[in-house]
Structure 1
């Protein structure tokens, strides 16, 4: 690998380059990188294909980027389309375009105003979503806040969380029907749902709002439901005693 960390790499037009270590990388055209890439800052305003892994401090994509290896970033802001074929790890991310992960995704804070798509598990500390999400695995997240848009399909196979809130986007201009958020299993401590379709909801404190269709609810502390909901059954689960009798 070429070590040019004190140099910048700027690509304008159509070009290809070997992988390496650079300080700053800027693409304003079409670029193919053959090998692993390590940069402090990477900004793409065109098309870029990395035939290897990519590690960067700051990653900003306003075009189309495909990484055939792993993507590791401290911070990234995605306005265009980004595809990662292997594992993706980012500390803090803002997604205003589209992020497609073929395998697992992990990080701390993620703000989604575009589309997040993952075929594997997703592990985060905080998710703030007002876009679209599709996770064909487990979404494990400390705090989840989801605001449903009128034209977005949302599906997560399984959710494990400390707290989750799913609400309808409020608007005085658009009264189109909302597409429900869908999940097979939602499990957490504090669960507050609107316009959600799920097979099982399991939590300590569960609140079911307008537009929900839930087959089974299991709760340990409190359960409330509003009108215009469909709940198959709601069962209070008694917690097992932590101490056994001597």
Structure 2
């Protein structure tokens, strides 16, 4: 159990160490700046998920599952099925509560949809293609869709509110990490599934911001009807 707790602590610290990284997009719709360093976290998580799911994975997987079965045998709840959507509710709920987001609701919704189409599309394709067995014996283990979903939401929430409200990334990524942990506690996923899902969720939403053109809700320009007339 100590190994599992240590792993989860490092997992959470990893996100919180980088969650305050400034991802700039201003209210005048300046494009989300692409920087290579913004790929470090999601790429590292995706690579870690692939490595722990590759050669020699069985020993690590079995060790963690054995730890879980020894200390949390019979543990089961459905909280993670609902809590995975909490960041998405907060993306709009925080604005309703008086907090100022970086992007208006129309562009924000377009970004969310684009990010989730890519995110959940990749999850679906990998699950169907690989068809790996979960710790509880059911199908479609890799990657964790719940984790990919909640980390996508946490990333968007942090981008929208994190610059003005420094506590938002800490809360959002802590919630996301908790969901990933709960997927393992519920015996639904291996650590490799969760790591890859977290990286995919973060990368998907950043890609949506990087490629967004902000066509919606642009301020209308007023044309002078007398332009070109000599008085």
- The TM-score with structure 1 as length reference comes to 0.17
Quick one: higher RCO (CA 8 Å, sep 6+), 1 or 2?
2
What TM-score, normalized to structure 2? 0.18
Structure with greater proportional helix content: 2
